[in-house]
Structure 1
Amino acid sequence: MTANIGMLTKFCLLLFSVYCCQGADIGYDTNCATGTDTCTVTGTACIDDGSGSNTKCLCDGFWEANTTPDGCVCKTGYNLNTAGDACLGEVGSACTASTDSDCLANGVCTATVDTCACGAAYLAGSANDDTCSAGVGATCTASGNECRQVAGAYCNTAVCACGAAYTASSTLCDGTTCTADSVCVDLDANSMCYNGKCQCKAGYSVNPSGTNLCVTTFGSGVNGIVGSMTVLIGSLLLAML
């Protein structure tokens, strides 16, 4: 009998301990116990409220209080991710040392200055850009749309590469050095030598979702012919000025 009472007492104490240490779900700007309570509003954490002696669930990290205030929004220079649970830094925004997940898609947190930048194989971008455009060497899909920001580039087996008349120069495509049209034509029949560099001739370009060759920019048929003639006439007028 005594043994049973002792076991029952221990069981009750255990339940009491679990209940007391379980913590609570805490809303915005409400007192909380660090390491025990859970802040339920996205972007909040149980942190010091500025008094040095009390903690509340407040906006933390790359979050700041909204105008109400009853919740958090991303700070200037940061954008909400697709899941809606994190703020990602734009190019030039501060990030936690070597934590790439703090930054925009295809971005990295630079180790030297702890700011977000576009990763290797992506165009450098400018301050406050919220996207990183694919450059030579970046991954791409069959549509090739990812490579469209680089003149002379196309999607070659899931990687952005340069067309036949072009040479990779870091993340960009530069026309292959030439001294005459024949040098370029040997590489691509629809290319020409201009200012010592090969390039697609007027009315042609490398299709990001096509092959490595220059193709008619304006499509085929009558529309293609009209488009090519328009470019040719424009080029002749410029030459005459």
Structure 2
Amino acid sequence: MNYVIDVIISLRATLLTLVYFLVARTGVDAVTCSAGGNECASTAYSYCKTLTPICACADIAPDASGTCTPKVCTLDSECIALDANSKCTSGSCTCTDSYYLDGADDEASCVANPVGTTCALGECSGLTGQVCDNTLDSPVCACADGFKDVSSTCTVNAVGDTCTASGYECMTVSNAFCSTSACACGAAFTGDPCVGATCSTSADCITLDANSECVGTACACKANYAVSLKGTSGDCQPGVGATCTASGSECQNLLGGYCATTVCACADIMAASVTVCAATSCTADATCTALDANSECIKDMCVCKSGYALDGTSKSCVATGGSNAITASIAVMLMSLLVSVLQH
């Protein structure tokens, strides 16, 4: 008898559920969906909740009488409480500039703009190694130099990856340089990733690189030196803080650097980060011109304008003309990307 009662109760519950879906629900949650399907695409701010499975509203756009409606707000904090990658725009919660709602299965949050997304400066920074390539007629999110596109994901380059003498593809590989056509470890470094060669005294390292020393049991560049990320030399080169003379030639391989009286320092559009210089991030030219009138914002970084360059003798972008200026500007931008990767 109890079994029959249980069956009746179960059937009743099933019938009530069907009525609820087919009659009571008329809004977004009345739409059934399937994993990998596209049933929720026509409903703004929704996604497929596969466990149910019905369309549901994104976190920043709660269900209001069957409609996904962006939360009304006055402060960013009200939106961030719902989604860390959102903000308050014109009184409503929206994703921040580098994020969007993709409507993917079980994705209620704002996600980072992927490779190939149309962009404006600053709108691709949600994912490491991405920049908005505004050198194109139609700017899109793209992998920065030093990264490779692997299934639409920017992956940092590694030892052995292909490079060119002027391409700076090895700039995100610590203690590495471009050796002929592949990223390789500096003279005093080995392995993947590149780590200092084993040593017992500094003499062991100096035989590999005159500007290295033994720290603990591993070789390292001596104070204020680093494997040059400009050019194709695997030796440790003068960096920020290294001694220099009036000619400034000692700082030539420090990207974005120059000789400030007696020590290598960073140009106005750069900032020192340990022994290297990092470019200033930007979303508009104004950020850069406030630092140097002859600079601009390219791929989310301040660089010298075409026809100008940081020549290693001045803190400002100087007129040089030709390809050298362009090459130097690109180098400055890539240096910043290296710093960003090392800090993650």
TM range (shorter): 0.3 to 0.5
TM, length-normalised to structure 2: 0.33
Which one has the largest radius of gyration? 1
